[in-house]
Amino acid sequence: MQFEYLLRILAAGLCGALIGFERKNRMKEAGIRTHFIVAVGAALMMVISKYGFQDQIGWNNLTLDPSRIAAQVVSGVGFLGAGMIFMQRHTIKGLTTAAGMWTTAGIGMIIGTGLYIVGLGVTAIILIAQKVLHSQISWLASPKTEQITIRMIDEPGAMDRVQTLLAGKQVAILSFQAEKKPGNPPEIELDLVVKLPASDSIGQLMPLIQELPAVHAARLH
């Protein structure tokens, strides 16, 4: 019987590795090893929850609640996922990875109970959904946030031309910082955090900025 438990844990680990492989290909924080271990650990805890106390069933005045360990797994993986969420360029990163870790734990738990078809089916659903939602479909695309530094001559109307260019491309300025630099002629260094439309890319915008007469240099962070 214990070999069947090991088979369940192995199957959970393989499902977790498949999800981790998709995350690894997208250069996300958690990859194959992390998802594999989370799925294996969740399946292990589920096996313990269901079968780890069978030798105590005949004891007098003993009450068992097999769901307690499963509930603690859900809470524990939630803390693990929270460590992957961070703020970058005014945008929250890591939410999908954290949600994937939480769901991978659920897959491990469901396979640990012996419901292989449900676990494998959910794995397939997640992989297909990730593929579709990351595809180049216009109505599924989301705006992108980028940080740009522009070094330009301090002359009347120079900053207005930059703002006009961005507005014409439907690029929203989220934050703006300007610093004067000594020189002949004097210069201004602009630090901008911008939000690009879902259909645009920073590669199309940078050459247009660099072509402005007052701009000396423009770079991405």
Confirm if 187 and 181 have CB atoms less than 8 A apart. yes
CA distance 182 to 188: 9
pLDDT at 88: 55
Whether pLDDT at 102 is above 60: yes
CATH superfamily of 144-220: ACT domain (3.30.70.260)
With a threshold of 0.85, does the pTM exceed it? Answer: no
Distances, alpha carbon 88 to alpha carbons 71, 92, 154, 163, 193, in Å: 32, 6, 30, 23, 11
CA distance 201 to 144: 8
Q: Which amino acid is it at 163?
A: Q
User: Which one is predicted more confidently, 190 or 50?
Assistant: 190
For residue 138, name the pLDDT band (cuts at 50, 70, 90). Answer: low
- Mean pLDDT score, 138-149: 68
Kindly report the average pLDDT of the chain as a whole number: 79
For residue range 195-218, list pLDDT tens digits in order.
877 656 677 788 888 888 888 888
Q: Which amino acid is it at 187?
A: E
Residues of the chain within CATH 3.30.70.260 domain(s) are: 144-220
